[in-house]
A and B are shown apart, each in its own frame.
Chain A
Amino acid sequence: MKNLFTKNKTYTFISVVFLIILWKAGSLMVSSEFILPSPEKTFFSLIQLTTEPEFFNTIGSTILRGLLGFFISFILALSLGIFAGIQEKFRAFLQPLLVTIRSTPVISLILLALIWFNVNQVPVFIALLTMFPFICTNIIDGIRNVDHDLIHMAQVYRIRNKNIIRHIYIPAIMPYIFSGTSSAMGFGWRAIIIGEVLSQPTYGIGTLMQNAQTYLLTDRLIAWTVLAIIISYFFDLLIRFIEKQSITWKQT
């Protein structure tokens, strides 16, 4: 098992190196720093970004917006999702709303949000709307897939409803919550940055990406992109870590 793991890590490393070589080759062929800067120039830009006074404000603002959007959508999805999972009629009512939100182009949401909200609220609103359907749908599925045989067993043994929820429903939907959160975050970070590009809040990765693009600072644009990928990856790892900590029985 450990061997396989290290072997996989080797392949991940090879994949990253391959991508950088491809990038370097591309930049040599294009030979224009405006169109495709070299990896090393981008790397230096990245290092330079971190030394700029606004760096932490920028990163922090984007992350804060993402987390705020996530927590609001999580609480909303949890309460509505649990209710919809139990109540068939409410589920029938909620389902078209979820499909509509999920099918609406992100750009439409942003353009509307720009009319409705101030620039700092737009990315949060976008994050909320893109993440909510993922988490909510997963929670509904989780509740509907709870093993009714276990519930019947608990009823025969006269377990109180409070304990049925705590010891059967909640552990059963945990994996669904984690997988919903993971896909929601994946989409969420991208949506926030699009929101920032268009709404231009004072601090935000999207704001600075837009600036870099305007002045053709392609190396800075890619450097911010790399940072955005790192943020998204970090939160994905964090979710997996929390999942591993809380769902111990699956690993035995």
Chain B
Amino acid sequence: MSIQIVNLYKNYNDQQIFRDFSITLQENQISCILGPSGCGKTTLLNILSGLTNTNSGIINGLSGKIISYIFQDPRLLPWKTVRENIRFVLPEQDKKESDEKILLYLKMVGLSDFINHYPNQLSGGMKQRVSIARAFIYPSDIILMDEPLQTIDPKLKLSLMKTFLKIWKNDNRTVLFVTHDVDEALILGKDIFIFSHPPVSIKNILKNPLTPEEKSIDNKHFFELKKKILSYLD
């Protein structure tokens, strides 16, 4: 079942972020929200995850759904090792057989050698990879991502996005990915929603036509599409 937000209203202090806003996110797909900073992208994720209340509006398709969230910053507990950080979020019944699974996911993000390290021994990019592994290992139905690649250097970013897609293909979880980076949106997103400044409206919805082979920054189709999207973003 898709996730539908209908007639959403949300104010922050005096600012109206959402005024009669509606959006539908397809199930088992990576939807991407692209927009300038301060356009209410994080607010939308916080509403979906229950961290923020709405002023009014209806959200369908979320009841009983379990969510994992990859935040802008890694949000690891500094006093726990990588293994303990991941174990911490696992439900009781999954903790017993978790070690193998943790190692498997850490391998996928290339951090299996760091399983017993503390966060302060890892670089920013490594910590974010741990938080990605944590989100995927958590038995969720939906993954929310709030510009998780922002702090990661460009070279690593591309390989991390490929890793992300590889892990995602195992179970095709519903993903909502928020970014202001057009490249990230084109590589990861299936439906790409372009947001305006608040009060937010959807300026454009783009079905990403690129094949996996075309998802490369030096590809002609990729470049043309990027130019088109940048013109919407103005």
Pick from B50, B80, B91, B117: contact of A156, CB below 8 A. B50
Chain A residues near B79 (CB-CB < 8 A): 171, 247, 249
Interchain CA distance A218-B121 in the complex, whole Å: 55
Interface size class of B (residues with CB under 8 A): 20 to 34
Interchain CA distance A157-B50 in the complex, whole Å: 11
Within the complex, what minimum Cβ distance (angstroms) separates A247 from chain B? 8
Would you list which residues of chain A between 226 and 252 have a CB under 8 Å from chain B?
247, 249-250, 252
Within the complex, what minimum Cβ distance (angstroms) separates A166 from chain B? 10
Interface string of B88-103 (1 = CB under 8 A from A): 1101000000000000
Contact yes or no, A157 B77, CB < 8 A: no
Would you list which residues of chain B between 30 and 85 have a CB under 8 Å from chain A?
49-51, 66-69, 71, 73, 75, 77-80
> Between A and B, how many residue pairs show CB distances below 8 Å?
46
Interchain CA distance A167-B84 in the complex, whole Å: 10
Pick from B50, B71, B80: contact of A153, CB below 8 A. B71
Within the complex, what minimum Cβ distance (angstroms) separates B55 from chain A? 20
Least CB separation from B144: chain A residue: A156
Query: B118 in the interface, Cβ–Cβ < 8 Å?
Result: yes
Interchain CA distance A252-B119 in the complex, whole Å: 10
Chain A residues near B75 (CB-CB < 8 A): 149-150, 152-153
On B, residues with C-beta under 8 Å from A are: 49-51, 66-69, 71, 73, 75, 77-80, 88-89, 91, 117-118, 120-121, 138
- Extra contacts, 18 of them, besides A153-B75, A156-B69, A171-B77 (Cβ < 8 A), are A149-B75, A152-B51, A152-B75, A153-B69, A154-B88, A155-B50, A156-B67, A156-B68, A158-B66, A158-B91, A163-B88, A167-B88, A168-B77, A247-B79, A249-B118, A250-B120, A252-B120, A252-B121
